[in-house]
Structure 1
């Protein structure tokens, strides 16, 4: 019998979280990004479970089948970390390997920093660990990319209702235009720069290949038509408050084995953003996927799976391999 993905709900940190769970053995917890779902890891779940891991991929706070509090203040990083801590408790995990992509990568780093005793190893796809800077992240990143408030997607996201309306107007087109391979990486930059002139997140993106099969696309569309995009957008709306909290604490060294996988053609989480990480993550391993864009676990699943198995492989119980 092949690997079966099990679905359940757990209560954690005051919310009800939808969780998928496959395989048996040492646990790996996979954390998705924006605008995604547990389903974003579908090409990893089977490979990792078949290799002898118990693979857990939740819908994070605000997404899919998990509760989505209305207020943006409910999405500060300290709350998201405690969601994950409660998930570990509910599933009986003393420790686990933690893997994240995009916002899930940021959460993976913060969980490892705040709960190192429960994090065996941590891997991030795209998102570097960056210490709190002198200005809020939505301003720092805008200035880093040389953009303005009007032409930087994170600043556009801050106005409640604005991005929700555009992304929800045609959910199918939203995912067709966003989740594209490296040859269409410029389309994601068009999104990130709000059309280049502040006019529209999606309006200037034309036809192009999608990373999603028909079944994949219908899965995203069905769920997002029900939930909308507000929950995921609230992660952005809380980021500057999270920064205020984080800068009150000194940046500790992350002493456990860690891996950052970057994509050569990711126009947003560019490889150079993690250039200084080894100063506070001494056991950092960095891997680069050539000719790959932002959605790397969906665009290059075989390479991602191989890297994860190489990095976490010796945590497996040999009797379950």
Structure 2
């Protein structure tokens, strides 16, 4: 990984750690929870070799970037502002923006909130989701019917932090699992994000199995050391802003005009492939939806060859 350059930039009132590789049109990659820039290591190399400038920040609250404590510091407006400020600090105009998991929300919102900064947009697992008529946490409570919804569990400051930080290695092993090949019809019986009956914590829902085969021990330890340093509060605060994001998006047009690519994962039990169906209603220039077979949630790490091929094909007419 010695070819990757690391720097720190001031953006939107905080400091962002930025990893870069290659030259050419900038492709900014936004990670999800609980991850960091390193989640994009496979894509950075492939994009650099294809003639692009791959840029992967630790987003606010993660890795070596600033980790503000207030919940309200993690709204989508703040997170999009971080990306725009980073582009300004790097003396860049437009970029292609790619996002996975929560990073996908940043990517779609950046396309709407800062259209002059976004040439194209790519969602990985995270589809474009229009504004709901109901406050998100109210909708989740109605959906759970008394079950355990991990996002609702994350809402109370300090509770999930205490559980996840007690043993960082154990927590990350629980998250970074290979997919379980479950019949999609069985998965659909429970609403997304609902893991069993109410009571207890999140890790009670997962057996303490080894981390997924898509990680080497060295890879796994990179994540472990990062979260031992940063803790989980920053990442959890993203979830605690979902109602604020909903309130702030009132009046915002739910429409992404830029050319777009959607990459879905066959075995992601939370961001299910069918959630991307009908997306072209709000993303009229959606050029293609790619289903990555055999992949769970950590798609760009589990199936890097397939993800790289889809991204580079989508960007092929932008090469030098």
Same fold (TM over 0.5): yes
Match of 1:245 among 244, 248, 259: 248
Per-residue Cα deviation, 1:217-258 (whole angstroms, up to 9, x for no partner) = 11111111111100000000011101111023232x322110
The runs of 4+ residues in structure 1 deviating greater than 6 Å are none
Q: Secondary structure at the match of 2:264?
A: strand
Aligned mates of 1:200, 1:114 — CA distance in 2: 36
* Alignment-derived partner of residue 218 in structure 1: 221
Matched, 1:271 2:270: no
Deviation at 1:151, TM superposition (A): 0.5
Deviation at 1:139, TM superposition (A): 3.2
Q: Secondary structure at the match of 2:148?
A: coil
Deviation at 1:205, TM superposition (A): 1.7
Structure 1 residue ranges without an equivalent (≥5):
none
Matched, 1:72 2:75: no
* Alignment-derived partner of residue 121 in structure 1: 120
Deviation at 1:135, TM superposition (A): 1.0
* Alignment-derived partner of residue 234 in structure 2: 231
Aligned mates of 2:95, 2:49 — CA distance in 1: 17
Match of 2:295 among 292, 296, 309: 292
Match of 2:178 among 181, 204, 221: 181
Matched, 1:47 2:50: no
Q: Is the 8 A contact 1:258 1:283 kept in 2?
A: yes
Aligned mates of 1:8, 1:209 — CA distance in 2: 30
RMSD: 2.1
Aligned mates of 1:70, 1:9 — CA distance in 2: 20
**Matches for 1:135-214 after TM superposition, within 5 Å:** 135-141=134-140, 143=142, 146-148=143-145, 151-183=148-180, 192-194=193-195, 196-206=197-207, 207-210=209-212, 211-214=214-217
Aligned mates of 1:196, 1:77 — CA distance in 2: 31
Per-residue Cα deviation, 1:11-45 (whole angstroms, up to 9, x for no partner) = 00000000001111111000000000001111111
Structure 1 residues 185 and 220: alpha-carbon distance in aligned structure 2, compared to 1, 3 A threshold:
farther
Aligned mates of 2:307, 2:205 — CA distance in 1: 31
Greater share of residues in helix:
1
Per-residue Cα deviation, 1:236-287 (whole angstroms, up to 9, x for no partner) = 0011101111023232x32211011111111111112222311121111211
* Alignment-derived partner of residue 9 in structure 1: 8
Q: Secondary structure at the match of 2:203?
A: coil
Aligned mates of 1:266, 1:168 — CA distance in 2: 25
Q: State the TM-score, normalizing by the size of structure 1.
A: 0.92
Aligned mates of 1:195, 1:161 — CA distance in 2: 22
Aligned mates of 1:100, 1:249 — CA distance in 2: 20
Q: Is the 8 A contact 2:74 2:241 kept in 1?
A: yes
Structure 1 residues 149 and 10: alpha-carbon distance in aligned structure 2, compared to 1, 3 A threshold:
farther
